[in-house]
Amino acid sequence: MNKKKEIIFLCTGNSCRSPMAEGIARKVFADYGLKNYSFASFGTLDIGYSPPSDYARKICRKNNIDISAHRSQQLDSDLANSADTILVMENEHKNWVGEYFGKNILAKTFLITEYGSKNSEYSEIDDPLEQDLNFYENIFNKLYSEIERIAKFELSKSS
């Protein structure tokens, strides 16, 4: 059997955007019948094995995605090396990957809005930390839309 393609989502603290993206990806890729993928999420900071933010859990739960078991972790070189693709939320995260892990890892690191996109300009996904539930909902919807686009892109590569 083929090794699963491992996709890592990376944000700052691994308590809002990346755990939501991981949860969304599990659901969306399953909905599209894409079984040969695994997902994980990490942060650039080590904030100490914390659960996702209340609003991140709430907005995911509202959309039938359970991220309550997630605990934040900092990305390390072993994890970065084992990943097939690293999808980041901001250019700052991409720069961090290049600085800490070098060119080989940076070559497989993309803004989430960039990966598999035909656009030439890519937007960042804003950090919802300390924002209201409505802000989180907007971030969730952006992530869902991007991950659905990525699932379609992956599906088109396999057919």
Domain boundaries, the chain: 5-158
Q: Which of the four pLDDT bands, split at 50, 70 and 90, describes residue 28?
A: very high
The arithmetic mean of pLDDT across residues 42-64, rounded, is: 96
User: What mean pLDDT, rounded, does the chain reach?
Assistant: 95
| Paired tokens of 82 | 């084992």
Looking at the predicted structure, is the pLDDT value of residue 142 above 60? yes
**Could you tell me the end-to-end alpha-carbon distance of the chain, in angstroms, rounded to an integer?**
18
Looking at the predicted structure, is the pLDDT value of residue 2 above 70? no
| Paired tokens of 24 | 């969304």
| Paired tokens of 65 | 């995605």
Q: How far apart are CA 111 and CA 139, in angstroms?
A: 15
Alpha helices in the chain (DSSP H): 17-31, 54-62, 77-82, 91-101, 103-106, 133-158
Share of the chain above pLDDT 70, in %: 98
Across the strands, what pairs with 134?
A: none
Q: Which of the four pLDDT bands, split at 50, 70 and 90, describes residue 56?
A: very high
Looking at the predicted structure, is the pLDDT value of residue 159 above 70? no
Q: How far apart are CA 24 and CA 117, in angstroms?
A: 18
What CATH number labels 5-158? 3.40.50.2300
The pLDDT tens digits of the residues spanning 94-128 come to: 999 999 999 999 999 999 999 999 887 889 999 99
pLDDT at 108: 98
Looking at the predicted structure, is the pLDDT value of residue 1 above 60? no
pLDDT at 158: 75
pLDDT at 143: 98
- Single-letter residue type at 40: A
Looking at the predicted structure, is the pLDDT value of residue 21 above 90? yes
| pTM of the full structure | 0.96
